[in-house]
Structure 1
Amino acid sequence: MVDSAKVLVEGELTLLQEHCVGVAVKDPSAPLGVRLLIEDYPYASDGLEIWDAIKSWVEEYVSFYYKSDEELQKDPELQAWWKELVEVGHGDLKDKPWWQKMQTREELVEASPTLIWIASALHVVVNFGYRRFMPEKGFPKYDVLAKNPENEFLKTITGKKETHTDLTVIEILSRHASDEFYLGQRDGGDYWTSDAGPLEAFKRFGKNLEEIEKKLIEKNNDETLRNCYGPAKMPYIFLYPSSEEGLTFRGIPNSISI
């Protein structure tokens, strides 16, 4: 997993870029600030949509409660939270020079989407997409795979007892509960704050995610997008924001299991 501290400093789009080394570059002229060198890359293209929605929500929220950088600097709870995140959460890295000082609204807007992303969408992709990567050319395992692919495939299959245990654990961790709330949703309806501005901004965030989900569904029905549609017709649904109850391999929960 990408080091969250490094990501926080290098900018809010770096997390996706680190996962997409060689296929994405920063481009201010691109709609979302990043240009994909491989456009048909579901994790990157879907993820950028979700990331942009999160960032927009954060920008509105921060601008409502902090009218100036000075207000942010004088907020004791925010400063205590950031101090704990850096010095306790990343105690071994606390002295690195690339941490934000959390003295400006821009720094807060830069850091927050990363934290939200790690605890929601990134976890979804890792948690619902259990997989073993194929070995690359030049590595010993690749030569073994090329010589006897069937034997190497059988090595990935565990015994019956172990398989049953593994599948049970995976199902428990990946199953959505009937009362689960997803990104863009909150328990208690409109009663989490009495401030009209954030309430309206959060509703826009939810609507934005609904529109993104519609776009992702359209992409997965596009036969020209091989990596979304593909010969097996198995759409990339991990980053669909919503889900039904059960084991669906989609939906971005507001919290993570572990």
Structure 2
Amino acid sequence: MAVEDPAAEHGLKLTIEDYPYAEDGLLIWSAIKQWVTDYVNYYYPDASHVKEDSEIQEWWTEVRTKGHADKKDEPWWPVLNTQEDLIHVLTTIIWVGSGHHAAVNFGQYHYAGYFPNRPTIARTNMPVEDSNDEELAKFWTKPEITLLHCYPSQIQATIVMAILDVLSTHAPDEEYLGRDPEASWAQNPVIYAAFERFSGKLKEIEGIIDGRNANPELKNRCGAGIVPYQLLKPYSEAGVTGMGVPNSISI
């Protein structure tokens, strides 16, 4: 989906143009990375501090050997020897639990709540193009009846709709990425200033996404019959809104 390109914004060139998830996701990723960079470089001004921090090393060992025991011996695991190593690891973890999860989760009701758009089960086989197939004859006579027999039943569809509604709902006390600082951050002027920059960047990203959704040249997010891509707008009201990036996964 992307190739490394030092000359491109964010250091990546998208192989698919007008790809809303990737375009907006890179904005969130870059904001997270800058915030993490400021934080890590403040507490670990030298690479040796990372390597010699027994707690951070034990945490990373647990992530690899306990959290991913089935992959613990894979050769591709990064090591924590420098600030850059730690920044990459933390940015990835924060992104997966915030932006990535928001993009794949909070649009579920909008995309699949109307069950014909994304049926969760097929109760019958669709008829085949065989002149002797009785089901095909019924299909040609009344295709809507064949489809209704194939679609989930009312109770099956209703259960899935209810589940998707719950999964896609933001709680009234949802904690969003970059909205409220931890108490310890607020007490440290350097860290608090870095957090304020992060928070301000996320507010800026909201405006950028709104602008993209209003740009008629971006055919995958603007135009007649096209749903604006809002899943990575950082903030949201409570309820099923199809936007908002919480701090982390809550289930």
> Is residue 212 from structure 1 mapped to residue 205 from structure 2 by the alignment?
yes
- Check the 8 A contact 2:170/2:239 in 1, yes or no: yes
Which of 215, 218, 226 in structure 2 is aligned with 1:225?
A: 218
Residue 106 of structure 2 corresponds to 128
Moved over 6 A (4+): 150-153
In the alignment, structure 1 segments of 5+ residues that lack a partner are 1-19, 135-143
Give the Cα–Cα distance (whole angstroms) in 2 for the partners of residues 36 and 230 of structure 1: 22
The percentage of aligned residue pairs carrying the same residue is 41
Give the Cα–Cα distance (whole angstroms) in 1 for the partners of residues 182 and 245 of structure 2: 20
Give the Cα–Cα distance (whole angstroms) in 2 for the partners of residues 169 and 47 of structure 1: 26
Larger Rg: 2
* CA spacing shift, 1:103–1:169, aligned 2, 3 Å: same
Residue 87 of structure 1 corresponds to 65
Give the Cα–Cα distance (whole angstroms) in 2 for the partners of residues 253 and 154 of structure 1: 38
Q: Secondary structure at the match of 1:32?
A: helix
Residue 167 of structure 1 corresponds to 161
Give the Cα–Cα distance (whole angstroms) in 2 for the partners of residues 252 and 81 of structure 1: 26
Per-residue CA distance 1:177-222 (angstroms, 9 max, x = gap): 1111111123xx5623332111110111010010011000010011
Which of 247, 250, 253 in structure 1 is aligned with 2:246?
A: 253
- Check the 8 A contact 1:173/1:257 in 2, yes or no: no
Per-residue CA distance 1:5-51 (angstroms, 9 max, x = gap): xxxxxxxxxxxxxxx3xxx2211100111112322110111111111
Q: TM-score, normalised by structure 1?
A: 0.79
Output the amino acid matched with 2:59: W
> Is residue 68 from structure 1 mapped to residue 62 from structure 2 by the alignment?
no
Q: How does 1:44-63 map to 2 (within 5 A)?
A: 44-63=22-41
Q: TM-score, normalised by structure 2?
A: 0.81
Give the Cα–Cα distance (whole angstroms) in 2 for the partners of residues 37 and 100 of structure 1: 26
Which of 188, 191, 194 in structure 1 is aligned with 2:183?
A: 191
Residue 133 of structure 2 corresponds to none
Higher deviation after alignment, 122-131 or 238-247: 122-131
Which of 174, 182, 207 in structure 2 is aligned with 1:180?
A: 174
Output the amino acid matched with 1:240: K
Output the amino acid matched with 2:154: K
| Number of residue pairs the alignment of both structures matches | 223
Give the Cα–Cα distance (whole angstroms) in 1 for the partners of residues 243 and 39 of structure 2: 27
Q: CA RMSD in A?
A: 2.5
Cα distance, 1:156 vs structure 2: 7.6
> Is residue 27 from structure 1 mapped to residue 21 from structure 2 by the alignment?
no
Cα distance, 1:257 vs structure 2: 2.7
